[in-house]
Amino acid sequence: MIERQPVASGALPLATQWRAMVARRGAMVALGMVGLALSVVLDIAVGPSFLPLSVVAAAVFGSGSDAAAEVIVWTIRMPIALIALAVGAALGLSGAIMQTILNNPLASSYTLGVSAGAGFGAALVIVLGSRLGIAEDWAIPIASCVFSGIVCAAVWGIGRVRGATPELLVLAGIALLFLFQALLALLQYVATQEALQQIVFWLFGSLQKATWSKMWIILATFIIALAVILRDAWALTALKLGDERAAGLGVDVRALRFQCFVCISVLTGVAVAFVGTIGFVGLVGPHIARILVGEDQRLFLPASAVSGALLLSLSSLVSKLVLPGAVFPIGIVTALIGVPFFIWMILGMRRGYW
């Protein structure tokens, strides 16, 4: 007969401890959303036109008489603030998915060539211009999604090779990153002066061409992708145990990776098409989420989206504060934030912290 071990005095049952832990992690996500709302408000309030806060508030609530302020707030500042939120959430989610399916903390759509592929597609449209016979506003998003899909398909195809490991997929992604960067440099070399200026400005990453229609497209893409991925949250959590263990638990690893790569290509392609290449958000955001909520994908995926949105929203705010009266390209700001974090992660890996 097995004797039941006595519960230590003052110790809570495991179920109670589990519920308390989930509640704490959920509170962290909620706190991040509060911070995100505050960041969006500040992003709307700050700008190169130096509007007083009272005038901005009156324009937001439609109670002011300054028509110029209403145009600035509703046509320029509001779309920029909201598209920063949508793009950051999309990049944060895509980075979280890629880090999970490849089981690599350095994986993201930017570091493994997906953004480079999307950037090449957009630059190709800019160089070809009217010769495509399609309006540029439609051609750039389509080309970005197509070429980001090509990169994801190539990586996934390598993963189907017998004996392929997540490490091999990472190396394949890095190789594709260099390939599309070289192709992009070739496009810049043969482009006209006008097209070259447009490509360079676009590669810096900018929110200044934000519109309500672009914001709704990115937001709708993000919501659909998040809903699709959250259905398989438990399978993604199992995948963190390794391919063999996940398969032993009934997970179709190949089908799951294929679905994830489709979501990554669409999220990255749409984001890059409208705001240019923005690095490190998809890398840094998931790591912040992992520190706060752990690896449970039910919370990790939404937390990564919130972290990515908060990072890009804060970067948008900082881009307006660097030089009063001017707006820095947001890709430069995110790189200045992301590079030190990237180096810190590499050093941490070498010391065995991860």
pLDDT tens digits for range 157-199:
887 775 667 778 888 888 999 999 999 999 999 888 888 888 8
pLDDT beyond 50 at 1:
no
Residue 338 has pLDDT above 80, yes or no: no
pLDDT of 209 strictly over 90: no
The domain 98-281 having CATH identifier 3.30.1490.190: the answer here is no
CA 262 to chain centroid: 15
User: pLDDT class for 4, splitting at 50, 70, 90?
Assistant: very low
Please give the pLDDT value at position 348: 66
* Average model confidence (pLDDT) across the chain: 84
DSSP track, 122-162:
HHHHHHHGGGG-S-HHHHHHHHHHHHHHHHHHHHHHHHTST
pLDDT at site 135: 74
Does pLDDT of 228 surpass 80?
yes
Residue 6, pLDDT > 70, answer no
The whole-number pLDDT of residue 10 equals 52
pLDDT of 94 reads 94
> Domain residue spans in the chain?
98-281
**H-type alpha helices, the chain:** 14-45, 53-60, 67-71, 78-102, 114-128, 136-159, 166-190, 193-204, 212-230, 233-239, 243-248, 253-275, 281-293, 297-321, 330-350
How far apart, in whole angstroms, are the C-alpha atoms of residue 211 and residue 278? 18
- Kindly report, residue by residue over 110-150, the tens digit of the pLDDT: 888 898 999 899 899 888 876 767 777 788 888 888 999 99
Pairwise pLDDT comparison (136 vs 29), residue with the higher score: 29
Global confidence as pTM: 0.87
Q: Is the dihedral of CA 81, 92, 342, 183 positive or negative?
A: negative
- Comparing C-alpha atoms, which of 25, 34, 27, 93 is closest to residue 296? 25
**What are 245-299's pLDDT values in tens digits?**
888 888 888 889 889 989 999 999 899 888 888 888 988 899 888 888 888 898 8
- The predicted model gives 39-67 an average pLDDT of 82
Q: What is the pLDDT at residue 223?
A: 95
User: Between the CA of residue 304 and those of 15, 110, 152, 201, what are the distances in Å?
Assistant: 26, 15, 20, 28
